[in-house]
Amino acid sequence: MRQTMRFAFGAGLRASIRIIVRCLAVAPSYVMLEKPEQILAMDKFDRITFDRQIMGGRACIRGMRLPVSVIIGQIAHGATAEEVLADYPDLEPGDIQQALEYAAWLVQEEVVTR
């Protein structure tokens, strides 16, 4: 699935996030990165971790049992960043920001599954 998106303010942002949530929901727990620039891009997501022992290898926040898709899903359904932070006391504002950035990056890339 390949989609290009731009974030906008207000309702446009929520619609963009809903697209991301749908993509994350169907994405496998692994992706094949085939180009060197894809691997380099992953280096900027230092708060996003993958570990088969934690949530079956799904993208999580800082090794916690908290998938990126949960955070994105809450925001897509109308929660504010402050509400998400209140629901998950171990989260930091940077975690939410990076989850959004990772989700946006993921839907812009070509994902090849095997």
Task: Give residue limits of the domains in the chain.
Answer: 11-108
Distances (CA, A) of 63 to 35, 59, 66, 94: 25, 9, 8, 15
- pTM, two decimals, is 0.62
Q: What is the mean pLDDT of residues 62-70?
A: 94
Q: Say how far apart CA 81 and CA 37 lie, in whole Å.
A: 30
Higher pLDDT, 48 or 23: 48
Give the CATH fold of the 11-108 domain: Arc Repressor Mutant, subunit A (1.10.10)
Give pLDDT tens digits for 83-111. Answer: 999 999 999 999 999 999 998 888 876 66
- CA proximity to 102, closest of 57, 41, 26: 41
Terminus-to-terminus CA distance in the chain, angstroms?
Answer: 14
